[in-house]
Amino acid sequence: MVAIQPLFGGALHQLPCEHPFGNAVQTTAYLAIRPEGGNVLFYGSGHMADCLDGLEALGGVWRQLVNHRDEATPGADLVKERFGAPLWCHSLEREACAQVCHVGDTFEQGPLTDDIEAIHTPGHCPGSTCLLWQTPNGQRILFTGDTFYPSKGRWTVAIAEEHRDQMRASLQKLTREHIDALVPSLFIGEVMWLEGADAVQDALKQCIERLKAPKGR
């Protein structure tokens, strides 16, 4: 069993980081602690086999949610076998995710539960979806996957040039939400989250401005 770290006052627990493409790139997953055993695992992890006991000690997993295809891992099937927790993804990511693991159900845009909302934010992938969770203490945490993530301290996006306008519209959509914190799956350089509604708005608007320029994000 490996250590799973509490964050945000224990509302979230972070699985160990992995380095899929070298030391500068880190990815991770999180367990959201929800009442009555409805814990949700966001993203995927290559460390999942070593985390199952730790997840069980935290109350297990009810559902697995991914932002897009790159977070689908074989470990998702281990979680499904252990806890009976199906993986959900956007319908446009289903085919790609299903090449890696079993997909239980799909979503589009809108509420998934009383406290989790899917916000379709295409650009990185056609079905990339940010997931907004209102914690039991009222904090609104946005799981951005690698739609919006920190690279060497600056919050940015990873897109093909032809998807620049689409991504800009997706970030604009996020500025219309009240978001207290950003929790990505991907980090280039230091692992960091962004807390504070004003800081989140500033980071989104700065990236939107950069996306209006012909090059450079």
Instruction: Tell whether residue 93 is a contact of Fe ion (CB under 5 A).
Output: no
- Stretch touching Fe ion by CB under 5 A, among 8-16, 62-70, 74-82, 108-116: 62-70
Among residues 146, 179, 180, 188, the one that binds Fe ion under rule CB under 5 A: 146
Rounded CA separation 140/131 (Å): 10
Shortest spacing between CB 101 and Fe ion, in angstroms: 16
**Between residues 6 and 74, which has the closer beta carbon with respect to Fe ion?**
74
Report the nearest approach of Fe ion to the CB of residue 92 (Å).
14
**Rounded least distance, CB 60 to Fe ion, Å:** 27
Please enumerate in sequence order all residues whose Cβ is within 8 A of that of 161, keeping only pairs 6 or more positions apart, or say none. none
Residues whose CB is less than 8 angstroms from the CB of residue 211 and which lie 6 or more positions away in sequence, other chains included:
157, 164, 167, 168, 171, 217
CA atoms of 68 and 179, how far apart (whole Å): 20
CB of 53 to Fe ion, least distance (A): 28
Long-range contacts of 2-6 (CB under 8 A, 24+ apart): 2/47, 2/50, 2/51, 2/54, 3/54, 4/31, 4/51, 4/54, 4/55, 4/58
Cβ 85 to Fe ion shortest distance, Å = 22
Least distance (Å) from Fe ion to the CB of residue 195? 23
Distance CA 214, CA 19 (A): 31
Question: How far apart are the C-alpha atoms of 128 and 19, rounded to whole Å?
Answer: 21
Residue nearest to Fe ion (CB): 70
Q: Which is nearer to Fe ion, 93 or 146 (CB)?
A: 146
Coil, strand, or helix at residue 43? coil
Q: What are the phi and psi torsion angles at 86 (to 5°)?
A: -75, 155
- Residue closer to Fe ion by CB (options 106, 134) is 106
C-beta of residue 131 within 8 angstroms of C-beta of residue 67: yes
Kindly identify the residues of this chain, within the stretch 186-205, that bind Fe ion according to CB under 5 A: none
User: Which member of 8, 70, 97, 204 binds Fe ion (CB under 5 A)?
Assistant: 70
Per-residue binding letters, 21-60, with Fe ion (x by CB under 5 A)? ----------------------------------------
What residues make contact with Fe ion under the rule CB under 5 A? 70, 146
